[in-house]
Chains A and B, each alone.
Chain A
Amino acid sequence: MTVLDPPTTIPAIAARATGLTKTYGSGEAKVHALAGVDLTIETARFTAIMGPSGSGKSTLMHCLAGLDQATSGQVQVGDLMLSSLSDNELTRFRRRHVGFVFQAFNLLPMLTAKQNILLPLDLAGLDPDWAWFDELIEVLGLGERLGHRPSQLSGGQQQRVAIARALMSRPAIVFADEPTGNLDSRSSAEVLGFLRRSVRELGQTTVMVTHEPSAAAYADRVVLIADGRVATQIDNPTQDSILDALRRIGG
């Protein structure tokens, strides 16, 4: 299995951010999207990042996933320091170690569901593990839809295709940015349920950004972000404990 690095190189800490800051613009218009974030993401756990709109959740996720460079501070994923990587190295890192599920526009419109799922492997020039592919398709219930294009799929189906793509390369971490933001409650429950199953049954480290307490309640731990900082963390959260914490930082 060349897709996955040997588990020994991934310690119990899957990713770590230290003193992470990110500023946009300059002068009057300067925005501190992240104002010094220290955070660890544990292996084989489901972490939810929560916070009010504009608090820096997406920015944090982009920095952790190597999609964006932080202004200062360190991001370590596995035993790699992301700030030391070139653009091409970062891209290869994403290809091999990171899976993504976004809120919308997850899939290339001109490719079929199957082509979309296999795209990262295709880009890396790697042969897919067909047994794993079949298992994912089976579990996600996509068997009938493989030949369809995104425009022919419902929102929930599109997100399931995106999850299949994220898991296909057995990444070290899956990042999901508001994956249920565009979905009705039934589809949301389905998608969240599957993300949690992949953590529980496959040991897939997963980080999900969301602003819905009901979605965050699926996670093992919730990290609350406010004004670009980690406000608090809740282990084994329930909807109530999350709402409590939100009220506290909000008031």
Chain B
Amino acid sequence: MRSVILASMRTYARRYVAALVAVLIATGFIVAINVLSAAAREGANETVGKQYRGADVAATDANGPRQYAQLRKRALADPDVTAAAVNWRGWTEATLSRGAQMVSLGSVATDRSLRWQATRSGRLPTGGGEIAMSSSWARRHHVGLNDSLTLDIGARSRTFTVSGIVDDQDGPLRSVLYLPERAFPGLGDVGEPVDEVFAVSGDPAAVASRLDHATSGVSVSTAEAYERTLRLQATNGIDIFQKLILVFAAISLFVGALVIANTFTILLAQRARDLALLRCVGAVRAQVARSVVVEGLMIGAVGAAAGVVVGYLVALGGKAAIAHWSPSTPMGGTSLTPGSLLLPVLLGIVVTVAASYVPARRAGAQSPLAALQPQDAVKVRTRAGALRLVMAVGFLLVGAAGLLVGLQSVLVAGLVGGMFSFVGVLLLTPVLVPAAIRLAGPLARRAGVPGRLAHGNSLRNPRRTAATSTALLIGVTLITAVVVGSASISNKVNTSLDDNHPVDLIAAPSKGALPHGVGAKLAAVDGVSQAIELPGIDARVGGQEMAVLGVDKAARALVRGNVLRDLGPDDVVVSGGTGNVAPGDTTTVKAGRTIHELTVRYAAGLGDAAIVSRSTLDAMGTATTPRAAWVRATDGADAGAVTADVASIAKSSDLDLTGGLPERADILKLLAIVLAVTVGFLAIAVLIALIGVSNTLSLSVLERVRENSLLRALGLERSGLRAMLAIEALLMAGVSAVLGIGLGSLYAWFGVKTLADGIFESAPDLTVPWVQVGVIFLVAAASGLVACVLPARQAARIAPAAGLVAD
């Protein structure tokens, strides 16, 4: 039997390509993701480790500097403790030539063995007037060694001399400026201690437990354990991200399995006579089935091995890209552990073998007589068997149950449900696709004789049609689900950001009027597109004292989203937490001598003041003063820089600063990453689907050399034959595209509801990006057409006589 397997694999090598590529892509994807996220995690770990380099024991959660000082005294009394240092963090304002700027402060340990900063030039600060700064900040603000720098400390300013420039080092203690540890207690409430670290000569665990017992309210542990908790905080994001990507990986494996199963089905239908002859001369069912499974095993092994190599190369490329585009992201080495290597290979092989199992069984059950019939009589069963229907219904029911359970945010159930139900749909394709094609009949008949022939052809053998459509159906469903799903989620993210943070930044005094000129100052900040001062008045709203602001057209234009769009003259907007008025109630607003009955509306993110339309405010009296400044940042501006600049202006004018700009920026950045991953995933899906389509179409054309030759012999022109095959391809592609788009949207709905539960307050609605969906349809139809060009040319070139005797 081995010689048969080897010989047929050699002979039909070209036909295995699709299956091979499917395995390769699926395993490669997993390997690349694994390697990259492991590198990211390692990078995050390293950063934590670097900042606690000399520490053996760490203490945290102490109640203020005093308790840390006590702990230090007690620790240094312990003969095993050789050094101690408190890590400080703080924020203050630095005066620069361009104006003031908020900066972060960190500490340099007094004891050399506990210092973690790496100097690039100069030395670390030790004396009272010395300071070090990170190299990137120094470069950006043109500050050099020995320059002086003025910081805002409490109510005074103090001047420091730059003694050293240090490397930027990511991690929990990363700061822009570094002062000696000793300097912090004299800085008032500018800085506060984060934790305390100790170098130890003996067993760290013993020292940690001694110290832990000796102090109450402070948790002391080994530095190793402490770093682990810090690391978890740092890498949580990466782990969540990896989970999301592994969901994609699971889907891509599943799709790979479907493509493989489909390829095998077609491959074996091609070889039906070979297999039947094998049965004639004495191969038992199990032998035939086993030979097919062995083929699957070999394809799985080769594809998975190639996938590991390709995936690793992609990961290397990805790491290089990250290093180039985002140098501050810490990345560890891209090492391959035996586990991260074996698991995908094993998965690839298992999936391939499993996917070949059903076609293999079917091949084994082939009657030996099939070899003796003329080829046309070798019919793949034309009616969807009852068993198939029962199975399809079973899969659909289980799948539906899984999807419904998934809606309770059980991701795994949703995933499995999606897979089961999709298999159910695929089992139904021999019924579904021909039915849909029948509907498209009138369209095809317009194209004359070739059209009629094509329509008939695609209906004559439902199984063949279904097998061909399946590849495309898989691809289109997947792509639609991803496109619609990500559009829905990103739309939801944007609207919920707009609802919760309609204004980027709000600067307002805790009481009274805005100082003169704040609006102009804010508008001048780099990255601010608009800054508006809002007039207001003190009033009683529903019995509570608060400022009432009036918004005019310009202010409404600055607000994101729709919260203020239909604010009428009789409405008043308050934040949800104010007073005891409910939305829809009427409330009394007393301002000066005027009394207004206004309808209450809630909105978040607009500050503490109540908001009415400008005309309503004007009706409340003339004694209005500017009460708040609303700022809108330019889209794409560096949110951190804009916020820092606005914050320093607010601080200098003694204003409170609120607003969702930093959060919005963070979330949008994350969303952009997720979308980028999705697009990459999409490209892979398109690739798998295209390969599947061209493979199945070319096989189904080659399968019919004889009957095509007969048509030619009977007088169908070469161009007519080509047209017939093209129309057939278009019919199948169009029908699969329509079905796939419908199915994909349905899956997107389930996916979005399942994934988004717990992230958003209310589940997002389905957003269908019609343009993209239209493009999907066109691409699907075009790919069907393109995939049939080559085989159609080939079929048309065969001389009728040659084709008729072909076996």
Q: Does A10 contact B (CB under 8 A)?
A: no
Q: Are A119 and B281 in contact (CB under 8 A)?
A: yes
- Given the complex of chains A and B, what is the CA–CA distance between A123 and B285 in angstroms? 11
Q: Are A67 and B368 in contact (CB under 8 A)?
A: yes
A-side contacts of B281, CB under 8 Å = 94-95, 100, 119-120, 123, 165
Q: Are A111 and B3 in contact (CB under 8 A)?
A: yes
A-side contacts of B282, CB under 8 Å = 91-92, 94-96, 120, 123-124
Among B4, B11, B278, which residue has the most Cβ atoms of chain A within 10 A? B4
Q: Does B566 contact A (CB under 8 A)?
A: no
Q: Does A202 contact B (CB under 8 A)?
A: no
Q: Are A67 and B283 in contact (CB under 8 A)?
A: no
A-side contacts of B280, CB under 8 Å = 67, 94, 100
Chain B 259-292 against A: per-residue CB contact (8 Å), 1 yes, 0 no?
A: 0000000000000011001111111111100000
**Looking at the complex, which of A77-85, A102-110, A216-224, A239-247 is the stretch in contact with chain B?**
A102-110
A-side contacts of B12, CB under 8 Å = 110
Q: Does B8 contact A (CB under 8 A)?
A: yes
- Given the complex of chains A and B, what is the CA–CA distance between A2 and B3 in angstroms? 22
Q: Does B384 contact A (CB under 8 A)?
A: no
B-side contacts of A67, CB under 8 Å = 280, 368-369, 372
Q: Are A115 and B369 in contact (CB under 8 A)?
A: no
B289 → chain A closest CB, angstroms: 12
Give the nearest-CB partner of B287 in chain A.
A123
Q: Are B4 and A104 in contact (CB under 8 A)?
A: no
Q: Are B284 and A91 in contact (CB under 8 A)?
A: yes
Count of chain B residues near A, Cβ 8 A: 27
Q: Are B369 and A68 in contact (CB under 8 A)?
A: yes
Q: Does A188 contact B (CB under 8 A)?
A: no
Give the nearest-CB partner of A162 in chain B.
B281
Q: Does B371 contact A (CB under 8 A)?
A: yes
Q: Are A91 and B279 in contact (CB under 8 A)?
A: yes
Chain B 1-39 against A: per-residue CB contact (8 Å), 1 yes, 0 no?
A: 101100110111000000000000000000000000000
Contacts A105-B371, A122-B3 known; A88 to B285 CB distance under 8 Å?
yes
Q: Are B285 and A111 in contact (CB under 8 A)?
A: no
B-side contacts of A95, CB under 8 Å = 281-282
Q: Are A104 and B807 in contact (CB under 8 A)?
A: yes
Q: Does A62 contact B (CB under 8 A)?
A: yes
Chain A 38-81 against B: per-residue CB contact (8 Å), 1 yes, 0 no?
A: 00000000000000000000100010000110000000000000
Neighbour of B273 across the interface among A105, A120, A165, CB < 8 A: A105
- Given the complex of chains A and B, what is the CA–CA distance between A111 and B5 in angstroms? 10
Q: Are B7 and A110 in contact (CB under 8 A)?
A: yes
- Given the complex of chains A and B, what is the CA–CA distance between A109 and B807 in angstroms? 10
Neighbour of A109 across the interface among B11, B284, B368, CB < 8 A: B11
- Given the complex of chains A and B, what is the CA–CA distance between A120 and B807 in angstroms? 23
B-side contacts of A177, CB under 8 Å = 372
Give the nearest-CB partner of A61 in chain B.
B372
B-side contacts of A123, CB under 8 Å = 1, 278, 281-283, 287
Q: Does A87 contact B (CB under 8 A)?
A: yes
Give the nearest-CB partner of A150 in chain B.
B807
Q: Are A108 and B278 in contact (CB under 8 A)?
A: yes
Q: Are A92 and B284 in contact (CB under 8 A)?
A: yes
- Given the complex of chains A and B, what is the CA–CA distance between A67 and B279 in angstroms? 9
Q: Are B284 and A58 in contact (CB under 8 A)?
A: no
A-side contacts of B8, CB under 8 Å = 110
- Given the complex of chains A and B, what is the CA–CA distance between A165 and B283 in angstroms? 14
- Given the complex of chains A and B, what is the CA–CA distance between A187 and B189 in angstroms? 108
Q: Are A111 and B284 in contact (CB under 8 A)?
A: no
- Given the complex of chains A and B, what is the CA–CA distance between A51 and B11 in angstroms? 40
Give the nearest-CB partner of A95 in chain B.
B282
Q: Are B285 and A87 in contact (CB under 8 A)?
A: yes
Give the nearest-CB partner of A104 in chain B.
B807
B-side contacts of A110, CB under 8 Å = 4, 7-8, 10-12, 274
A-side contacts of B273, CB under 8 Å = 105
- Given the complex of chains A and B, what is the CA–CA distance between A106 and B276 in angstroms? 11
- Given the complex of chains A and B, what is the CA–CA distance between A95 and B284 in angstroms? 9
A-side contacts of B274, CB under 8 Å = 108-110
A-side contacts of B286, CB under 8 Å = 88
Q: Are B284 and A115 in contact (CB under 8 A)?
A: no
- Given the complex of chains A and B, what is the CA–CA distance between A122 and B284 in angstroms? 12
Mark A residues whose CB is within 8 Å of B: 58, 62, 67-68, 87-88, 91-92, 94-96, 100, 102, 104-111, 115, 119-120, 122-124, 165, 177
Q: With contacts A67-B372, A96-B282, A110-B10 known, what are 20 further pairs, Cβ within 8 A?
A: A67-B280, A67-B369, A87-B285, A88-B284, A88-B286, A92-B284, A94-B280, A94-B282, A94-B368, A104-B807, A105-B372, A105-B807, A108-B7, A108-B278, A110-B12, A111-B7, A119-B281, A123-B278, A123-B283, A123-B287
> What are the 9 closest A-B residue pairs judged by CB atoms, nearest first?
A95-B282, A110-B11, A110-B7, A91-B284, A120-B282, A120-B281, A123-B283, A123-B282, A88-B284
Query: What are 27 A-to-B residue pairs whose CB atoms are below 8 Å?
Result: A62-B369, A62-B372, A67-B280, A67-B372, A88-B284, A92-B284, A94-B282, A95-B282, A107-B277, A108-B4, A108-B274, A109-B11, A110-B7, A110-B8, A110-B10, A110-B12, A115-B4, A119-B4, A119-B278, A122-B1, A122-B4, A123-B1, A123-B278, A123-B281, A123-B283, A123-B287, A165-B281
